[in-house]
Amino acid sequence: MVDHADTRIATVYRMGKLDNPIYKGREDEEWAKISHLPRAVQENIMFGNWLDADEQVFAFDKDQLMRPLPEHYSPTWPHVISYDPASSSNSGLTLLANDPSSGLWWVVDSKYVRFKSPSEHIEFLEKYTAPYNIVRRICDTEPWFYQEYYTQTGKSWLPIPEKVTRKKHLIAKLQEALHHRTLMFKSGLGDLVQEFGNAEWKPGYEGEKIKNSQRFHLIDSLEYGLDMLPKVETNVVLGYDARLMEASVASEKFEQDLKSARTSRQKMRVRRKFNNMRKKKGWFF
């Protein structure tokens, strides 16, 4: 087996564990055995992607980078939405949030959406973003999208400047964030994790271009968002609207916790916790 054959003159055959007929019908069992390993290692074992170290673009360590959102997460945190719109295929959406107490950015959501007309995109995004404190909207440089959005809603999206000539820079910036763990990911973003695992360098353009790059809408939207994140200070003072939203969210959670409490002692603890929060935040209701 030649590991580094020139793909212009040679054919590379990948052979993995699942190519062995003795494992037919036992795929789920074999996947379960290696579920504790990073996704890239799992793919190496099962599919034979043994060139992964050289070919894979992003070293995404799921065990180190994915966590449940912090308990103090709130929709009032500064949020950035990044959108890679498409009229004839999947669009990619990424929602990022900044923890004011630490300054760390979290990927809160990453999903595919599919709409044809600009009005369908706009209707969806208006409903989707309504619960969040959106401080910046970023999108691919598609005039049909951001110009129509502004016409219908009066809200501006920032297009990505020189995305084609700066693609190498965008990739490198995301690689650096993953390596230094300056970006964390909410648990369960399966489609994004799969894109990270499938992204390989284009032969002959290693370090510059991704093979079949048009397929990676979630990575694209994440790159755009990361490239244009606003500078947010830690321990920021929320504006009036954001404070109202924070109080509303906390009040709803208080009602839910109170309803879930089974004993009088548990109810008392819920009320005490909420009252302490009210005093600390200065909420007079």
Q: Which residues of the chain have pLDDT under 70?
A: 1-14, 36-41, 43-44, 48-54, 87, 233-243, 279-285
Structure confidence by residue, pLDDT tens digits, 103-124: 899 999 999 988 878 888 889 9
Tell me the CATH number for domain 64-227. Answer: 3.30.420.280
Give the model's pLDDT for residue 51. 44
Most distant pair of Cα atoms in the chain: their distance: 76
* pTM of full prediction above 0.75: no
Give the model's pLDDT for residue 141. 74
Q: How big is the chain by its Cα radius of gyration, in Å? A: 23
Could you tell me the residue ranges of all domains in the chain? 1-55, 64-227, 240-281
Give the model's pLDDT for residue 1. 47
Give the model's pLDDT for residue 212. 84
